[in-house]
Structure formats: structure tokens, C-alpha cells
Amino acid sequence: SYTTDTKTREENKKTLENLYSLSVDVTKIRRLKEWVLLQDVAYVKEIAGILQEMGADETTVANIIERCPEAILHTPAEINSQRALWQLVCQNEKQLIKLIEQFPESFFTTEYQKNQKANILFFQELGLKNNIITRFLTSAPNIFYNPVEKNKNVIETLQRNYLNLGGSEANMKIWILKLLSQNPFILLNTSTAIQENLEFLQKNDFTDQEVLQLLSKLKGFIFQLNSTTMQKSMLFSKNIFKCSDQELKQLVLKCPALLYYSVPVLEERLEGLLKEGISIAQIRETPMVLELTTQIVQYRIKKLSALGYDIKSGNLESLNGTKKDFEVTYGKIQSKKERPIFNPVAPLHIED
């Protein structure tokens, strides 16, 4: 609804004056979104006033406008509606202003207010805590742009499949909420895509229990895949590890990344490991190492080598896990190395 033809138009002097009076760095706006300064109508003072009412100081207001200049093109009525909407899940205005400062684009997208409200109420009904919903609003705002019926449909498909795969009614709510909080983007998929991916796993002889296990392990990422890429990745792993279908299935259950990552990603990671002198047999033994990027693997090998730990002859388990997991492993190896070999307190047996 705003023109972006910047050649023939001049900057709006009144907008500039108002921005300068708020100590906004206008050069930043020119560099980012100059078209905002060319619009005939802007609500600089009004939007600043609403933000100040919520407790924002001058620096915060300037910061918000510099990061999201199109905020000043919304009417005060639109912003007040958005404010009321986000207050449904925010503890107080102090938290709200903090979120706006961190994620201004999410807050100032006001075109989908009706859908946003319906989805917020739906998520609350579903049992999602408000702090999780605010996280969705800021980090996955587009799931709120969907009509609520679409999100309901996806959730119903997940619930139906969970029960069909042998999940219990008692655990279903916890499972759904966990899945959503780990990966809200599953709501951007269609029910059909979800169904197709589950059927692909069943056709590949994964039992219902194993499919359920994979869904939990993959944190819902499986729904963002398609059967073609999964088939290619599985075939690649089968050829590399020279294993039977049954063995491949066990490897995938151990390391769902073999299903999730595309062939080019798996190839690059495998190559990185082989360059470090690690064998295919070692990788097959600990496939989870393929979940790590080549850079992380190199960094961890370097740190362990400095302690005299030879990864080529050792177990790859020491490379695995999150940053925190690795630090614990590293600490254990380090303290083992520093520990004296003999017990200084024990009496020495010296022959006469």
C-alpha cells in the first residue's frame, strides 16, 4: 500500500522534523528503507507517544523506529489494537516494550490482526503457556497469519496420527505441546504433507512405535521434509555404510539426521570427518557425529588433540552432543590427564 518509487519523490519534511525531534538517526532509515521517508502521511509523534505510554524511554523509541521505520506508517488505532492483542499473552507492559524493542518487525505487522487474535486464543485453549506463545509471536510470527482453521487442522492431523501410531490419549496433549514448543514451524505445513511423510516411514518398514520415536527425536522437523529427499538421504547412507535395510533402519533411529539432512549436507560432513582421519567404521558406530557441522567437528578435534587424545583410535562419542555436553566430556578427559598416576599418600615399597 506504500509507494516505493523513490526517484520522483521528495522526503516528507514534517516526517523528518518529527524524527529529528525524537533523536532518531535518519541516515540509518535512509540506508535501510528510504521509501518510508517519502510517504505523504506518517504518524511519528503518535506512535512514539504510544510506545512512551507503555514505558519506553527516548532511546528505546528511537531504537525501535530505526530498526523498523515502517512502524510510523501505521495508524495509532492499528497499533493500539496490536498492543491489546499482545497484552493477551504478556505479563505486563514492561515485558511488552522489551519484546517490541527486540522484535519490532513482528509487532508492527498488523495486517493479520483477526487471524493473530484467533490463533492466540486457540493456542491458549490448547494449553500452551503464554511465555511460549510470546516466543512464537516474536520468532515465528507467520504461524499467526494462517487462518486459525488451518492451524487447527494441522494439530488435529498430528493428534490423530499420534493415537493411530499407538500413542496414549493421556500423553497426547504433552506430546503435542512439546512438539509445538520445540518447532512451531510445523504449523506452516499442510496436513497432506504430514500424512505423506508418516506413510513414507511406514512403507520403509519402520514400526508404529519407531515412527513415534522418530517424531519425538526429530522435534517435528520430519514434517518439513518430503519423501523424495528422505529417500535420497537414506539411499546415500545405505551406500556409504554398506548396510542392509534393517541395519540402515537402526542407524536412522540412532541418528535421525540421516533422514533429515540432504545428500549434499551429509556428503560435506562425511568428507570433513574423513579428512580428519576418522574412518567410515567409526562414523557408522557413532552416526550422531553427522549432526555436527564440519567447523564444530574440527574445533572439537583440535581441543581434544591438545590434550593428547587421539580421535582416530578413540571413540567418536567424545565429539558428540551439544556445546554443554562437549564441555563436560572435555573437562573429564582433562582432569583424567592432570591426575597423578601414583597415589602420593600411599607408602612406597622400597626393597632393602
- Which domains does the chain show, CATH number per domain? 10-110 (no CATH), 111-219 (1.25.70.10)
CB atoms within 10 A of CB 242: 9
Share of the chain above pLDDT 70, in %: 93
pLDDT digits (tens, 9 = 90+) for 288-321: 999 889 999 999 989 888 888 888 777 788 888 8
Phi, psi angle pair for 35, to nearest 5°: -55, -25
pLDDT of residue 352: 39
> pTM for the full model?
0.77
pLDDT digits (tens, 9 = 90+) for 41-75: 999 999 999 999 999 999 999 999 999 999 999 99
Q: At what angle do helices 323-338 and 294-306 cross, to 10 degrees?
A: 10
| pLDDT higher than 60, residue 1 | no
**CB within 8 A of 99, min separation 6: which ones?**
86, 90, 107, 134, 137, 138
Band of the pLDDT at 89, cuts 50, 70, 90? very high
| pLDDT higher than 70, residue 40 | yes
